[in-house]
Structure formats: structure tokens, C-alpha cells
Amino acid sequence: MKPLKFYLVTDTHYFRNSLGAYGEEYERFMEFEQKCFAETQAINEAVFAWLEKAQDADIVLIAGDLSFNGEKESNVAFSQLLKEFKEKSGKKVCVVTAGHDFNDNPFCFDENGRGKPEGTNFSELYGLYKDFGYTDAIAFNEEHLSYVAELSDDVRLLVICNDIDGQKHITYDDEFLGWIEAQAKQAQADGKMMIAMEHYPVLAGQPILALIGDARQAEADKLIDTLADNGVHLIFTGHMHNQSINVVETAKGNKFYDVCTGSAIGCPAFMRLVTIEDENTVDIKSIPVPDFEWDKKGMTGEEYLKAQFEKMIRILLECMVRDPERLMGKLHIKQTPALKKLFPVIGRKISKATVGGVCRLLCVSADKRIKKDNFVDFAVDIARSVFEGNQPFVEGTPGGDTLLKVFRRLKPFIKTFKGSQGETLDFYETMKHTVGNYGIDDYNATIKLS
């Protein structure tokens, strides 16, 4: 087969800036946001200006959450941006919509506080984005806004949407899984390679994310088996705004890879350049989102997005002291009088603690190279690395060895816990592989599908 190349972008979260993203209430809202808001129009314009000139591929895939929160004006403006991009570049664009693209309760901000712009209905999404994959599809499932596109003479793309009219992030029923299986078998019968794209990951980007119900496709194992056991061994996803490449093997011995890519508008902000070398070999490279026009206070785009991410983590910790009720509301923790008193006490101690001090409380010793480091800074680095991928806290490093001691100390008290889809997770192994990457490089890798 002839090699095929394409770019992949996800979670563009385009917001039409003229709707309003400023004011005191906006600033308060952004304290708990990983992704940008007001800046998204400028970021997206920079991304597609870069892709317009990029010469390595003439196909662009976009893996969902196209608009910030389903604002009608944002969807209209983003579809116009894509239309102009196609006309100028001559490149093919295939999108999948997701939960942020339709909403009857979108919002914006100005000096008067929170406003409510017009939203987008699910039934309107096809009309807005039909020119970006749907109208050229060789198979189309109207209920799920899912389709099959020919990327080349040899490769087909199966685009799967887990929303339907009135419902988001649904569990796929047998009828829709049957449709997916039929498309996969048809590709095999036609002698075509098939790859897939869905907004939601089907494998947890990092092991700890398996605890979060919204972090992956509901009943993901059924989808994995349906795809992998019918010749589809690779899916591209987004949603969690993290960089990861993971693989699993089905009961029948078939490999399945999930390549999740960071959001275009929040740390880690990356695109992918994917090369399908042959039916068994896929090369994946990561490309930083280009810099963008904005008052970034002297920072580069990468530094600016990283600062927003770190601010979110630090404010969460600060709220333990100054606003525990807000923290508990954000984390969906039941607010009790005891916790309202306890959180500020813990927060004050954490804010002054060193890594060594926290380790002593757990009766373990920290590596001497980091024991005097500020604990909050250490915690922020850990949290950010979970999303950035290639987590550096592996065995043999000061941070990795210290964390593994902590996990071993806690293991007798927390041997296992349940994942969001009912699976049993070993505490030590889950935490070890969450803080350290012992597997596939999350940024640049050549994978073998069988």
C-alpha cells in the first residue's frame, strides 16, 4: 500500500471572542480552568494558519469538542474558519462532534457577569459541519452522527460519535455496535485498512484516570473488542486534554491502540503528524501548537498555557485554606462542618511543607536531592505530568524513588480500588504507572498493529 500521512488536532474549543470573555466573574471562573477561553479564537487561527502552510500531509482530522460550549456563534464561526482553510489549503478535513458542541446552556462573560448566548442543538450539527467528512462519507449513521470516510485508496476512517439527540456520552447499544462491526467487516472485505476516531478515549490515558467515569467511553471493552477483533487496531481520541499512547490486547489476542492528543487550547497543546507506513506500521510524531497573537505577558505560547494549568492546580490547593466550600463544590465532595474545619488546617500545613516533611509524616525518607523542595511545587509537577505524558517520576530518579516508597508505605492500607467501569485496580501498580511512564513514548512512537 502507498503510505498515508495526516495531521490530527483535537479539543479546539473555539469561542467567538466577541461574545464576551472578560470581567471579574470571568477571572474567577478561569481560576479552575485548564484550558483557555478568551484566547481560543486567536489560538485556532494560528493553528490553521500553520496547517495551511504545512507540507507533510493534505488531510486534517479533528477529534471533537470543536466549540467552547456549544455557542451558536462559535460553531458558525469555526465552521467558517474550516471552510476558508479548506479553500485556501486544498486539504481534506474530517471532524467528529462531541458534547461541548451542542448545549442549551452556553455562557459568556462581560462586566455585568455571566451571560447566556444562543446555544446549538444536536440536530443543527450536521448542517454546520457536513462539509468536513459527512457529505463525502461512504456510510453514514444519522442518529449518532457517525460515518466512514475514504482517506486514500487503501485507508478508511471510521468516525464514531457517542452523542445522540438529547444525550451525551452514551453507552453504545447492540444496534450501534453492530453498525460499527459491519463497517469494519466491509473494510476487510474490500481489502482496505481501517482506523477510527472518537472524541472519548477508550483506554485511560494514565492509570489513575480509570477512576473518573467521564474520562473514557462507557463500556469501553465492548467497543475495543468490536473494533480490534474485526481488523481495526488504532483509534485517535481527545477529551481529556492529555498526551498518551496506550495499547491493550483483546481476549482473542488482537492489539488495540488508543492515541489521545492534548487540547489545542490548553497545556499540553500539541498536534500529531501520523504516517501510516503499511497495514502494520504507524509512525506518530507530536508537533507543538504554534505561538499565537495575544498579550501573553512576555511568555511564549507554551509558557502561557503551562502557567494557566499550574494556576489551576495551585488555586485548588489554596482554596483548602481560604475557600474550602468552593473547593468541595468543585470536587463534588459532600460539605460537612468537620471538613470545613479540617481542610484549612491541612491546607496551611501543605503550603509550608517540604517533600521531606510530608514523607516523614508517612514514615518514609525522601531522596536527599529533593527533600528540601517545596511540596506544593512537587505536587504541581506531578499533576501536570499526568496530562503531559511521558511522566518523569520513574524508578531510578529522585522523585520516582521517593514516590514509590510512599506508595509501598500506603499499599497495606489501600491494596486495590475499583475503576469507573468496575475493573479492579492494584493500588501500587496504578500509582507507579501514573507518575512514571514505563511504556510507549506518549509523543513520538512507531507502533506495530499486530
Mean pLDDT to the nearest integer, 127-145: 97
Last residue of a domain, one of 261, 293, 325: 293
What gap in Å lies between CA 227 and CA 221, rounded to an integer? 10
**The pLDDT value given to residue 332:** 80
pLDDT of 307 over the 90 cut = yes
Q: 275-288 burial by CB neighbour count: b if 16+ within 10 A, else e?
A: bbeeeeebebebbe
Residue range 141-183, pLDDT digits in tens? 999 999 999 999 999 999 999 999 999 999 999 999 999 999 9
One domain, residues 240 and 311: no
Residue 254: CB partners within 8 Å, gap ≥ 6?
228, 229, 233, 450
Cell numbers for 362, please give them.
508517612
Per the model's pLDDT, the better-predicted residue between 213 and 50 turns out to be 50
One domain, residues 187 and 309: no
Residue 404 lies in a domain: yes
Residue 94 lies in a domain: yes
pTM metric for this prediction: 0.96
**The pLDDT value given to residue 189:** 98
Residue 255 lies in a domain: yes
Residue 211 lies in a domain: yes
One domain, residues 234 and 280: yes
One domain, residues 210 and 270: yes
Residue 443 lies in a domain: no
Contact 65, 102 (CB under 8 A): no
> How large a percentage of the chain has pLDDT more than 70?
100
One domain, residues 67 and 160: yes
Q: 406-430 burial by CB neighbour count: b if 16+ within 10 A, else e?
A: bbeeeeeeeeeeebbeeeebebbeb
Phi then psi dihedrals of residue 118, to 5 deg? -65, 140
Q: How confident is the model at residue 82 (pLDDT cuts 50, 70, 90)?
A: very high
One domain, residues 19 and 146: yes
Backbone φ/ψ region at 203: left (φ over 0), alpha (ψ -120 to 50), beta: beta
Residue range 390-420, pLDDT digits in tens? 999 999 999 999 999 999 999 999 999 999 9
One domain, residues 36 and 156: yes
**The pLDDT value given to residue 182:** 98
- Closest to 193 measured CA to CA, from 119, 278, 310: 278
Q: How confident is the model at residue 425 (pLDDT cuts 50, 70, 90)?
A: very high
One domain, residues 138 and 266: yes
Q: How confident is the model at residue 317 (pLDDT cuts 50, 70, 90)?
A: confident
Q: How confident is the model at residue 125 (pLDDT cuts 50, 70, 90)?
A: very high
One domain, residues 246 and 386: no
One domain, residues 310 and 271: no
> How large a percentage of the chain has pLDDT more than 90?
92
Last residue of a domain, one of 293, 327, 352: 293
Residue 449 lies in a domain: no
pLDDT of 334 over the 90 cut = no
- Domain range spanning residue 340? 301-435
One domain, residues 9 and 37: yes
Q: What angle do CA 263, 168, 129 make, to 5 degrees?
A: 65
**The pLDDT value given to residue 331:** 79
pLDDT of 211 over the 90 cut = yes
**The pLDDT value given to residue 116:** 96
Q: How confident is the model at residue 327 (pLDDT cuts 50, 70, 90)?
A: confident
What does pLDDT average to over the chain?
96
Number of domains in the chain: 2
Residue 428 lies in a domain: yes
Mean pLDDT to the nearest integer, 317-323: 90
Q: For 5-39, where are the alpha helices, taking DSSP H only?
A: 24-30
Cell numbers for 322, please give them.
481560604
SS3 446: strand
Q: How confident is the model at residue 316 (pLDDT cuts 50, 70, 90)?
A: confident
Last residue of a domain, one of 293, 326, 352: 293
pLDDT of 53 over the 90 cut = yes
One domain, residues 277 and 308: no
Residue range 253-263, pLDDT digits in tens? 999 999 999 99
Q: For 229-368, where are the alpha helices, taking DSSP H only?
A: 301-322, 324-330, 337-352, 355-361
pLDDT of 431 over the 90 cut = yes
pLDDT of 104 over the 90 cut = no
Residue 445 lies in a domain: no
**The pLDDT value given to residue 286:** 98
The CATH number that applies at residue 237 is 3.60.21.10
Please report, to the nearest 10 degrees, the dihedral formed by the alpha carbons of residues 403, 407, 410, 414 taken in order: 140
**The pLDDT value given to residue 330:** 82
Residue range 234-254, pLDDT digits in tens? 999 999 999 999 999 999 999
